[in-house]
Amino acid sequence: MKEKGLLIVLSGPSGVGKGTVRKELFSDPRTTYEYSISMTTRLPREGEIDGIDYFFKSREDFETLISQDKLLEYAEYVGNYYGTPVDYVRETINDGRDVFLEIEVQGAKQIRDKFPEGLFIFLAPPSLSELQNRLVHRGTETDDIIADRVETARKELEMMNLYDYVVENDHVTLACERIHAIVLAEHLRRDRVEARYKKMLEVE
């Protein structure tokens, strides 16, 4: 039987730079995973192309896809639907190729429930370390600002607990390097490679 590909899920709080990191990853020739193009009901932005950036759908069509169980996950985000086509993901993984999703946190949670063997990477804002610096250098911020930032950081930290890895997005290139390292390590996990070795011994 063919070894399955990985389902790599990159998610994290809004505004953390998921889209920028994803674009940088896919402009790197070392990236071998395939990007799953999402469906959305939002209108295309200037320069966006249907079938490349997203599959742009009407609300009605999107709701039909939901009712036909054609989405691995979906979420409503700022008034629009976003979702991952299940057939593409299933076919690609079954064919032994890795799929990469860049989605918001509600969708990532749904996949964690349905597909726990996925590789879940949380992109964290650098504000967590910045926050630490500011708290260390007390006196540079008002109490209100610090309280606000602690509250934001707390919410962001809570979201993290469903993920396998945390990548701080302090610098896009560094974040991409960390993601490459995680994917490489995941491919070398004993439970993934041992079947191959067992097969080898059967032959001899």
Give the binding site for ligand 5GP (CB under 6 A). Answer: 14, 18, 38, 42, 73, 75, 77, 82-84, 102-104, 106-107
> CB-wise, 3 or 91, nearer to ligand 5GP?
91
Minimal distance in Å, beta carbon 185 to ligand 5GP?
24
CB of 176 to ligand 5GP, least distance (A): 16
3-state SS, the chain, equals CCCCCCEEEEECCCCCCHHHHHHHHHCCCCCCCEECCCEECCCCCCCCCECCCEEECCHHHHHHHHHCCCEEEEEEECCEEEEEEHHHHHHHHHCCCCEEEECCHHHHHHHHHHCCCCEEEEEECCHHHHHHHHHHCCCCCCHHHHHHHHHHHHHHHHHHHHCCEEEECCCHHHHHHHHHHHHHHHHCCHHHHHHHHHHHHHHC
The minimum distance between CB 25 and ligand 5GP, in angstroms, equals 13
Nearer Cβ to ligand 5GP (88/141)? 88
Q: How far is the CB of 196 from ligand 5GP (least distance, A)?
A: 32
